Structure 1
């Protein structure tokens, strides 16, 4: 891993919080992610299962975790299983965790090789009544490929049909949404790396550069600061491309007079940043571009005020919609008559602002959390309004990452340039 070591206290506390919510006489089992085939004999770069990482800190394939707080054999209350290395693996794939290294990372003392999993599980599972198994229950996701957890569930139910099975995800959904201080610090590190990449880009962009050249500047800054890389596929959308919400071809030349919409973020120690900015290719906004930009910034500033503990998701988005509607009228994109005759199910503002304003952020960019629970202290949420005007070849989106605390919210990206004048000043300083 490129990132610096993390204190095992984070993962010890996460496990304690998880097992405290289990029913009596329960065993919970977590798996690392699959290694997914890319083509031929290649696999995609390994990405750890976020729940497994949350509980262990282990960033390696072919590993398992057993949590059985009521196990009659105290050795097996918490057990980590590691892929056992050998000379061949060491030569072809490189270093794998030793048991001593895995202890230092996870704080788990009972560590065995993955080959021992079946025997150890069989020796203790009959002393449990309940079995908690994990799946990806992110409500933005619909699986089309059978992955490790699903195969494991099927095998467990075949091997041990008379146990009572429960979903670990319902517990993880509550726990992962509330970030501890170490998680906040890791997210802040991801944000700081993202800031430096953005400032680097501001000094680099000029008419005639290609979107992919900008992407290269970003990944350069990420990697040199120990980031694993992009938190998600970056969007470098110049001109009319900014009206494609998930544009990632990043293959066009940036033309004088256009605005570039950026949406990118660094991943650091599996925690993610998520930033959006919009800048003029030539270093100077036109008056129309500035007016739209400042309208989006005003919506963002008003929306940030609503990101407090107790805010209800749907009500929040409705209120942001009202602010956006007012700004769109001010820009001449909507009229009061448009608003009066709008379909309440599809408000008029949706023509120019069609996505949500916020999502949870953490180990996943769209982090695992309930959209039906009120925002709470410890939540980290994006705030990302935008205005998209295809007929003008202009799209503006601004996005910062916001931490909710007892005393209000904290903008984790408050030090990243956002005012139009500051962006122009940096772009023209060289």
Structure 2
């Protein structure tokens, strides 16, 4: 099935990759293979994101070869052959003819022909790009190079320089095109509505997985057939487990429910977190923590513009949260000392955000220093999450009992514009009044 993005988008991605390649070089980008789940059943197939970024092609066991000569650039796709018997059992294949016609590559061959052709594509080239992290492909590349070297008496010349293709794709993927941004807006609309549905369906006595089912149903019925990552539905103290995905406990009265869930639309991820009261009404303590996190989130979002960085946002947000926790009596001592000693990290235990795109934790260098401060300046077209949180587990004996068991995270998806930002997460309520009103309406 063709992508919702126009095929010209993927051609543009390849062109941008070619522009980063020197003359007389070749790049080899593999697709993923299916992964066995148990015995003879497979996990739902997920394409290698770099391969998808350059092709829009969503079948397993394919390979993209990009060849840059003195006067030409050529895209060659190796993919599964048409096979009536296999297609009866496992589904239709695109085949070589439609690969050329629909995906706009210059040539297409069968996957079975990879080993026959690749030494020829490498012969005479000075550089070869491929993903170093792909161990299986790395072994094959060395085998193909060895095959070329074995023909040196006949004039064979293997590439002398091996370079990691991820260095190029990671940078290209960091800046989203208008088409990509439009798709990510749509993924956010679908995901935001799923969070609304979760708020409307949650109730005391239900199980976390029942709320998860509502979220996944809302994703799928609107075109996002799969979640972008393991959905977190964490009631009460479970919210203080950052990557809680068991989703197996019952929802209790007077507890909060933290949901971290985003749909994947045509490969692109949304990543939204909302926290709300199971019974529809925040307690005073829950309100205090929630409003502090919400204000911190809005403070960070409103500061986003070209030239800003996560390092600068962290300073702003951490100082704000430190003062807030001090005012509530959760932290004690001198404000300046607490800030200097980063005591806020006792309760805000993860980073402020991350890049977002084809992967939920998307690729792209943060320009972090030895202290893990992320100094990369934001540019138009970057998309990121902003997700402050405060986590006070039941086991924390350093605070008053009334605070224990509260875990709050609020997360939006933000695109950097020419002069500021665009908040893609418009459909998931985040104010106390809006959340309580929506839940009251659902229960009336």
TM over 0.5: yes
Listed one character per residue, the Cα deviations across residues 156-183 of structure 1 (whole Å, up to 9, x for unaligned) are 4443464121111111121110001111
Pairing 1:39–2:38 present: yes
Aligned residue in 2 for 1:200 = 197
Pairing 1:211–2:212 present: no
CA–CA distance in 1 between the matches of 2:439 and 2:81? 52
Aligned residue in 2 for 1:140 = none
Instruction: State the shift of 1:208 in Å.
Output: 0.8
Task: Choose which of 175, 190, 201 in structure 2 pairs with 1:178.
Answer: 175
Mark the runs of 5 or more structure 2 residues left unpaired by the alignment.
150-157, 368-375, 395-403
Pairing 1:29–2:28 present: yes
Aligned residue in 1 for 2:414 = 402
Listed one character per residue, the Cα deviations across residues 343-369 of structure 1 (whole Å, up to 9, x for unaligned) are 74xx10011101001100000100001
Q: Which has the larger radius of gyration?
A: 2
Aligned residue in 2 for 1:141 = none
Q: How does 1:94-105 map to 2 (within 5 A)?
A: 94-103=91-100, 105=102
Aligned residue in 2 for 1:279 = 276
TM-score w.r.t. structure 2 length? 0.89
TM-score w.r.t. structure 1 length? 0.92
CA–CA distance in 2 between the matches of 1:156 and 1:424? 62
CA RMSD of aligned residues (A): 2.0
Q: Secondary structure in 2 aligned to 1:377?
A: coil
Pairing 1:301–2:313 present: no
State which drifts further: 47-56 or 321-330: 321-330
Aligned residue in 2 for 1:425 = 437
CA–CA distance in 2 between the matches of 1:188 and 1:103? 30
Aligned residue in 2 for 1:378 = 381
Q: Does the aligned pair in 1 maintain the 2:319–2:339 contact within 8 Å?
A: no
CA–CA distance in 2 between the matches of 1:380 and 1:355? 19
CA–CA distance in 2 between the matches of 1:217 and 1:323? 35
Pairing 1:252–2:249 present: yes
CA–CA distance in 2 between the matches of 1:261 and 1:383? 16
CA–CA distance in 2 between the matches of 1:426 and 1:390? 28
Aligned residue in 1 for 2:424 = 412
Instruction: State the shift of 1:83 in Å.
Output: 0.7
Aligned length, in residue pairs: 416
Instruction: State the shift of 1:28 in Å.
Output: 0.6
Pairing 1:13–2:25 present: no
CA–CA distance in 2 between the matches of 1:223 and 1:58? 21
Mark the runs of 5 or more structure 1 residues left unpaired by the alignment.
137-145
CA–CA distance in 2 between the matches of 1:181 and 1:420? 33
CA–CA distance in 2 between the matches of 1:51 and 1:176? 8
Listed one character per residue, the Cα deviations across residues 207-236 of structure 1 (whole Å, up to 9, x for unaligned) are 111100001101111111121311000100
CA–CA distance in 2 between the matches of 1:101 and 1:188? 30
Pairing 1:388–2:388 present: no
Distance change >3 Å, CA 358–CA 175, structure 1 → 2: same
Q: Secondary structure in 2 aligned to 1:429?
A: helix
CA–CA distance in 1 between the matches of 2:363 and 2:208? 31
